[in-house]
Structure 1
């Protein structure tokens, strides 16, 4: 992991040429005194949390440094150990259960035309990445702005390159800053500021921060900051959430890494048991390491007598077994699984003598499923605030009552088996009128939102074809199309009430 240092210019990540660095501006022309004060507070917030965010990223990428006690492990092993990827497992297992499906509203197939809007900005994939970074660092940010064509757009930001201030009385973000550009040395050269009254871009040129002349500040909607948090497990004390990689989880990973290194050292001695030679000649006693290894690995070995003519004796010192290390590693795995609510079997070091049943496996995932439901609830509130703001930008005359009916549709985190979903669907469809053809019923049957949309479209096409066929069959009698009557001969007008009915 790069060395983290502090300087008068703020936090920098040493040892990496492209580490992100920020020289905070003291004053920017064109910003009000209130906005300059908010900018200074945002830069200070980013500086204070940059080191912690870098540490969390290192654990997720399995690049954490070894916390060695310096007692038993040689440097040749500690310098080349393989870190465990348990932190990534803890994040990714929960992220894979928080799957965004779309937006739903009562009585609307495509509420506010969001289906095309989400497809145009690739919202689903971008949101999934934002959820991943939120689980790593505790939160990430969604911001609403305008694209070049004037249409609203939604961007995501990680806490490694952004910071925000929380408005406690109103329970929302007061101001947000995002590093949007940097030079080849990692120095920030562009900041996007999301203020209560407007969104402003400032750039650093020739060492001076200023608002570009060709930049047009964007007014906000409703006089509120257009940045929203995606927070994992937020509280009133920590409104920006907590990292999935908690401090106790990191300490457990450190202990497991030390156990792996000790097992590695034990494996070296176990592969080549130590031999004690008594009463050997001078040439044997003065052998170099390579010569001694060659003697040890030779197909046949000969040891000469000592100067007194005594025959040397060979004593083999048995190496200790690796079972204590493996048992300790299993204990670390069990503690880590309990800390992050994932099955211990997912870490690859805990094995049962007998295969577990489907019910037992589901019971092991119960805590993780409950955590995923809570995460969906917290993420969903911020996503709804973001999308409502985008809808207001696109159509200021939208009905607020209809906006409040909008809901986020998540995939069921329990992910039941197909047979279980089909059994529950058949029982509910038989007892609730209209349940089988409803979107709720199809979701309970295990169909995804895209499958439900395609199925509904196929049903509409089939019903339309049947209606057309029925009309054609009803309007044809004896092979004659009664809708088109033959014209009377000689231009005579038929009397009223005559002709085919």
Structure 2
């Protein structure tokens, strides 16, 4: 029998985790401040920050390929629940929040008409204790509303099995339900036994590499000023000469005339320092880009270093093999989490405590990770014909859409036959 830890324990747990999730969101929103090493420029440059969009690219490149299509063997009609909750926005919002913070949460409630309502809450405002068997929560806590000025919670919710407690501005309201699990369902990215609430797509290595790349961009901007206007020098001028030559006029004049020294008859020697090169910064930035791409399964083309020869569809898929494997893993995990959401919402809709194992036949269906081009479709067609010749009926309208991403045609088949009897 599980012993509840209580709302106070979960609030302290959220307070510890909130800063970590906030940091990831700052990197995703490109609001992070890169600390300079202060070895050269120090603090004399003021508020000059270099911003790179690599972290959003790492998250979006994966989330944009995770397109949820629907459910197979939907015995409890959970498809209607997701469709009535803006499925296009709902799935994308839940997936992006889970990739950034490691997990997001779905708050399941009933609207005015008694139909399940699904609300996405990111990891900054919700937490809970995860059941390692079902990946459902044993108990949960969420901040439903915050004061826009102070950021303090104004509406909170404590979730237990069969009971949801809402605390809003000192008013406590208890709402019983028939679900066999709390009405706060986690959507987790890459969970494991040590961290059941998952890992963020924005890893510590990615943040460290991005900070190094941002410092490189900052140094290149400083060096660009000296690259554009090489520093000059004058040797052999007396003190009186230094006072008579205006520094700013000497720097911007196209022609500068300096007379001989009256005493010695020598003239000052004018020279120019060697012009700074931007190549080291470009090479260093490319090195950081290679490290970041390797960490996140991307290519240099994804980060803005465009190659001379455009790649074919097959070459793009081959270069993104790590990203494809990561997306496959995410599909498996997210599919189970979304099935948990449908399970809890179905119990709430039907006012019946279903068993989780009653939903084992319902499986999620995703769009192909890489959209096939004409050459790929032709290869799939040739392969399907040969396999069907060896094993009749092996490929049909049930499994081919998973490879091609195309839905079976709904045109009537009558009158489509050719030839005469």
Pick the structure with greater CA Rg.
Answer: 1
Deviation at 1:393, TM superposition (A): 2.7
The 3 A distance-change label for structure 1 pair 397 and 58 is closer
Larger relative contact order, structure 1 or 2 (CA cutoff 8 Å, min sep 6) = 2
List runs of 5+ in structure 1 lacking aligned partners: 1-33, 468-501
Residues 429 and 441, structure 1, Cα contact 8 Å, conserved in 2 = no
C-alpha separation in 2, matches of 1:356 and 1:231: 34
C-alpha separation in 2, matches of 1:431 and 1:245: 42
C-alpha separation in 1, matches of 2:232 and 2:32: 37
Q: Secondary structure at the match of 1:262?
A: helix
Is 1:439 the counterpart of 2:398 in the alignment?
A: yes
Q: What residue is the counterpart of 2:12 in the other structure?
A: 44
The 3 A distance-change label for structure 1 pair 269 and 434 is same
Is 1:121 the counterpart of 2:80 in the alignment?
A: no
Query: Which of 422, 429, 434 matches 2:378?
Result: 422
Q: What residue is the counterpart of 2:39 in the other structure?
A: 71
Deviation at 1:285, TM superposition (A): 2.8
Residues 221 and 389, structure 1, Cα contact 8 Å, conserved in 2 = yes
Residues 192 and 199, structure 1, Cα contact 8 Å, conserved in 2 = yes
The more displaced of 69-78 and 381-390 is 69-78
Residues 137 and 159, structure 1, Cα contact 8 Å, conserved in 2 = yes
C-alpha separation in 2, matches of 1:352 and 1:137: 33
C-alpha separation in 1, matches of 2:114 and 2:271: 84
Deviation at 1:234, TM superposition (A): 0.8
C-alpha separation in 1, matches of 2:157 and 2:21: 20
Deviation at 1:330, TM superposition (A): 1.1
The 3 A distance-change label for structure 1 pair 385 and 169 is closer
Deviation at 1:392, TM superposition (A): 2.8
Q: What residue is the counterpart of 2:368 in the other structure?
A: 412
Q: What residue is the counterpart of 1:340 in the other structure?
A: 296
C-alpha separation in 2, matches of 1:328 and 1:413: 32
Query: Which of 161, 165, 170 matches 1:200?
Result: 165
C-alpha separation in 2, matches of 1:284 and 1:194: 82
Q: What residue is the counterpart of 2:271 in the other structure?
A: 315
C-alpha separation in 2, matches of 1:141 and 1:343: 31
C-alpha separation in 1, matches of 2:203 and 2:133: 28
Q: What residue is the counterpart of 2:175 in the other structure?
A: 217
Q: What residue is the counterpart of 1:485 in the other structure?
A: none
Deviation per CA, 1:235-289, whole angstroms, max 9, x where unpaired? Answer: 100001111111111111111111111111111111111111113365763489x
Q: What residue is the counterpart of 2:154 in the other structure?
A: 189
Q: What residue is the counterpart of 2:126 in the other structure?
A: 162
Deviation at 1:368, TM superposition (A): 0.3
Deviation at 1:359, TM superposition (A): 4.0
C-alpha separation in 1, matches of 2:244 and 2:134: 78
C-alpha separation in 2, matches of 1:383 and 1:92: 20
Is 1:296 the counterpart of 2:264 in the alignment?
A: no
C-alpha separation in 2, matches of 1:275 and 1:304: 18
Residues 103 and 197, structure 2, Cα contact 8 Å, conserved in 1 = yes
Deviation at 1:404, TM superposition (A): 2.1
Query: Which of 235, 238, 244 matches 2:192?
Result: 235
C-alpha separation in 2, matches of 1:121 and 1:170: 24
Residues 36 and 42, structure 2, Cα contact 8 Å, conserved in 1 = no
C-alpha separation in 2, matches of 1:318 and 1:386: 65
Deviation at 1:360, TM superposition (A): 3.5
The 3 A distance-change label for structure 1 pair 294 and 144 is same
Q: What residue is the counterpart of 2:344 in the other structure?
A: 389
Q: What residue is the counterpart of 1:91 in the other structure?
A: 59
Residues 280 and 303, structure 1, Cα contact 8 Å, conserved in 2 = no
Residues 279 and 305, structure 1, Cα contact 8 Å, conserved in 2 = no
The 3 A distance-change label for structure 1 pair 307 and 88 is farther
Is 1:153 the counterpart of 2:117 in the alignment?
A: yes
Deviation at 1:389, TM superposition (A): 2.0
The 3 A distance-change label for structure 1 pair 131 and 307 is farther
Q: Secondary structure at the match of 1:382?
A: helix
Deviation at 1:413, TM superposition (A): 1.0
Q: Secondary structure at the match of 2:128?
A: strand
List runs of 5+ in structure 2 lacking aligned partners: 417-421
Supply the RMSD in Å over aligned alpha carbons: 2.8
Deviation per CA, 1:409-437, whole angstroms, max 9, x where unpaired? Answer: 11111333232123313431464345675
The 3 A distance-change label for structure 1 pair 281 and 303 is farther
Q: What residue is the counterpart of 1:365 in the other structure?
A: 320
Residues 143 and 386, structure 1, Cα contact 8 Å, conserved in 2 = no
Residues 163 and 178, structure 1, Cα contact 8 Å, conserved in 2 = yes
Q: What TM-score, normalized to structure 2? A: 0.88
The 3 A distance-change label for structure 1 pair 366 and 141 is same
Deviation per CA, 1:82-117, whole angstroms, max 9, x where unpaired? Answer: 211111111111111111111111xx6xx5444443
C-alpha separation in 1, matches of 2:325 and 2:132: 28
Residues 138 and 160, structure 2, Cα contact 8 Å, conserved in 1 = yes
Deviation per CA, 1:192-239, whole angstroms, max 9, x where unpaired? Answer: 2221231121023xxxx440xxx45132412x2222221111110000
Q: Secondary structure at the match of 2:301?
A: helix
Is 1:325 the counterpart of 2:281 in the alignment?
A: yes
Q: What TM-score, normalized to structure 1? A: 0.74
